[in-house]
Amino acid sequence: MKIYRRLIPCISKEIIRHLLAESTVEIADGHRDDAELDIASVLVNYLNDEDQLNQDAKDILERRGLPFEKFGMVKRGLAESRNMIIGDNAFDYVLEQMVEILFHSGNFTEIFAEDHDLKRIMRNTIRRYMGVDAQLDKEVRGRLRHLREGTPDWEIEYEKVIEQMRHSHGLS
């Protein structure tokens, strides 16, 4: 699941806005900002856990002298030992955590929708922000039309341009 930390406040604000617009939740007076922070905390916690998992996997590779090709295997093993959901199921896991926070936070006074309806609203909102990578990729590929894809020159230039684009869009 790829979400840029810089976009988390926008995502949480938009999720709350959509939940309120569809009358699925009621927020205690004066607690809208806190409700947004509740939603943001789920994303931040997941990204922090994922960053720690990546770092620990890299450390294991280094300590054991394993090639980087083993990174995915080591990461999956660590995730399993920590009962952390990664990969294709991570998105559903994060949505489940967001629904849980709605019920456990004191900032939400009423919840009027079923879990699946809440998840649908959140999923649609988050997906718009997850598409940022696809949009950047399309834009970068357009800029690199003069190079043949798959060549070493293309790969080097792609990484350089995508990082510049992320930086110019405030995503790095």
Structural tokens at position 19: 């939940």
SS3 (DSSP) at 29: coil
pLDDT value, residue 116: 96
> Could you give the C-alpha distances from 70 to 54, 61, 76, 96, 99, in angstroms and in order?
12, 8, 10, 30, 35
Does 131 score more than 80 pLDDT?
Answer: no
Question: Are residues 157 and 144 in contact, defined by beta-carbon separation less than 8 angstroms?
Answer: yes
Interval 11-19 mean pLDDT: 95
Q: Is 79:85 a contact under the CB 8 Å cutoff?
A: yes
| Spatial separation of the C-alpha atoms in residues 10 and 65, rounded to whole Å | 41
Residue 108 host element (H or E): strand 108-111
pLDDT tops 80 at residue 171: no
C-beta of residue 12 within 8 angstroms of C-beta of residue 122: no
Average pLDDT over residues 2-10: 86
- Mean of the pLDDT values across residues 27-37? 97
